[in-house]
Structure 1
Amino acid sequence: MPSTADEIAANLRTQIQRGELQPGDRLPGIETLAERYSVNRQTARQALNQLKAEGLAESPGGRAGTIVRQRPTTRLVRSRNIERDHLGYYSGPTVQHWRTIQGLGLAIDTRPVPADVAELLGITPGTLVLLRERANGDPEQPQYRQLAASWFHPDIVEDVPVLAGGTGLGGSYDRIEEWAQQPLQWEEEVTAATPNPAEAETLLLPPGVPMLRILRVASLGRGSKARVVEVQDIRMSGELFSVRYPLQRRGAARWPVQPSTGDYYSAGSQP
């Protein structure tokens, strides 16, 4: 019985994952796959396209055909601590030296706010909201970059109108804290997303590579009196970056704990 495109792709995927096919190795061509698996050319092409869509293979052009794509084996860990230098706040030492990417500088505009950001801001989806969007990254390693879009609550823009223009050293966060005379608080939500074409182009994402998305909510005050002033939509390669954080012991998990089955070892059990 002829194989399906999924079965052919699964076979090649296994060979890649086991290291039988190494990065840069040429995959069997359409004619070879069609003959080997007793399928037509269209089925063989679908199998190769499936591996490309997963980011496992690529076609560099010329006579190279389809090859196994080189993928990073380690990721740059993004600290989610807020730190500060003479320029203002930043998220961890790995990005302190990052700068705005030439040709992809700051854009200030008023646009309809997307639904998920609107919910965090506590406003109606589609409301026209001030947006400050920029792309920054590592000047020495251009593949390490991120997109950041800051959506500001209309009320804070009314209170701090400089947010719609040049904010100077320290940026938006300094101007808000100066006005409020109190510190901002931040909370983040980390998800994965499929990039749209513009995001993939700006972030240099090959086909099949997911996007790491972090929604950072900036608030003044705490608890029921907290006022959300900005939501920052941060996007980066899900293949090049990771987020790491310690797990905290809380509640009944604080040490020392009460074992669920009593004193297991003193009862004669061995490790």
Structure 2
Amino acid sequence: MTGATHRLADALRAAIEAGDYPPGAALPSAERLAEEHGVARATAQKAVQQLAAEGYLTLTRRHPARVKERPRHTTVVRDRVVYRDELGYFFDRNAQDWAAVAPPTRKFEVPPSHVADLLGTTRGQDVLARRRLMGPRGATAAHQVAVSFIPLAVVAEIPEVGAERTGSGGIYDRFEEHYRAPLEWRETVSARHPSPEEQKALGVPASSPVLVVTREARILRNGEEVVVEVNETAMAAAQFAVSYHVERDESAAWTG
């Protein structure tokens, strides 16, 4: 993206964020934008395409670009702490009161290869996938797509984790009750393009990246640490951030 394209995209993005172009409003044509901002028509077109890729605009052939209906005012910052309330464990204080925006689903499916590797299952082999579309209370569209992948051997050992209703505290309480040990978690944060399912659920275009938090739930079973679940939560990258406390290593101890 050239400097002129970058500057125009920044100006249009700022105008949208400020409400100069409210959701549903049509953007001026590329010709008019080029004239108003003193750039070439091709530059204006590229700036509009960039904002569409970021999820700000909807492009329809032979129609003006329109500002997309999306809750850009909500930026949720995830931290690296596990909490607990009366419902059980949760991992995002800012989304503690979120709820499912559609009925949760569960089915047998082949997980992504990296998930199978984390679970210790054979690639291409079915596992149980529990899928939830989550958002703030009252929301009609999902802000997060969360999928829990559980090995079938674990489901056979603890049938409750495969049931429609898993009981108070959910699957994590069932794991700890069964194995009589505390869970430990490890998360990896990455970014990628959304799947078709995520595009539809989150309302993002194929070119707009999603932030993915992959969380392994580990527990001691007969003295050996095993992964009993992998959760992948995808969210629009433009709306989320990850925050954590940076600790000093002994080598970085303050000597003042």
Q: TM-score range by the shorter chain?
A: 0.7 to 0.9
Quote the residue 1:245 is aligned against: 244
| SS of aligned partner of 2:109 | strand
1:135 to partner: Cα distance:
1.4
Q: Which amino acid aligns with 1:55?
A: G
Q: CA RMSD in A?
A: 3.6
Taking structure 1 as reference, are residues 154 and 141 closer, same or farther at Cα in structure 2, changes over 3 Å only? closer
Aligned residue identity for 2:218 = S
Deviates most, 74-83 or 22-31: 22-31
The normalised TM-score by structure 2 is 0.79
What does 1:65-104 correspond to in 2, within 5 Å?
Answer: 65-66=64-65, 72=72, 75-101=75-101, 104=102
Correspondence for 2:119 among 118, 121, 130? 121
1:207-218 matches, cutoff 5 A:
208-218=207-217
Question: What CA distance in whole angstroms lies between the structure 1 residues aligned with 2:27 and 2:4?
Answer: 12
Seen in structure 2, the aligned counterparts of structure 1 residues 97 and 46 have a Cα distance that, compared at 3 Å, is closer
Name structure 1 gaps, 5 residues minimum: 258-271
Query: Alpha carbons of 1:97 and 1:10: their partners in 2 closer, same or farther (altered >3 Å)?
Result: closer
Q: Tell me the CA shift for residue 59 of structure 1.
A: 5.1
1:156 alignment partner AA: V
Q: Distance in 1 between matches of 2:189 and 2:59?
A: 32
Q: How far has the Cα of 1:209 moved from its partner? A: 3.7
The structure with the largest alpha-carbon Rg is 1
> Counterparts of 1:92 and 1:49 in 2: how far apart (Å)?
33
Partner Cα distance (1:157, 1:21) in 2: 47
Q: Distance in 2 between matches of 1:58 and 1:9?
A: 18
Matched, 1:151 2:149: yes
- Report the counterpart of residue 269 of structure 1 in structure 2: none
Q: CA deviation at 1:44?
A: 6.5
Deviation digits for residues 60-92 of structure 1, max 9, x if unmatched?
9998x3367798477221233211222211114
Are residues 8 and 29 of structure 1, via their aligned partners in 2, closer, same or farther at CA, if it must alter by over 3 Å?
farther
SS at 2:238's partner residue?
coil
Q: CA deviation at 1:21?
A: 10
Give the secondary-structure state (helix, strand or coil) at the position aligned to 2:80: coil
Corresponding residue pairs, total: 247
Which ranges of structure 2 fall in alignment gaps of 5 or more residues? none
Instruction: Return the alpha-carbon distance in structure 1 between the equivalents of residues 123 and 20 of structure 2.
Output: 46
Partner of 1:226, secondary structure, is strand
1:13, 1:183 → 2: CA distance?
A: 49
SS at match of 2:214: strand
Alpha-carbon offset, residue 13 of structure 1: 2.0
Q: Is 1:16–1:22's contact at 8 Å kept on the other side of the alignment?
A: no
Q: What pairs up with 1:199-214 in 2 under 5 angstroms?
A: 199-205=198-204, 208-214=207-213
1:202 positional shift? 1.2
1:227 alignment partner, SS class: strand
The alpha-carbon distance between structure 1 residues 251 and 221, as it changes in their structure 2 partners (threshold 3 A), is farther
Structure 2 equivalent of residue 226 of structure 1: 225
CA shift in 2, pair 1:44/1:137, >3 Å: closer
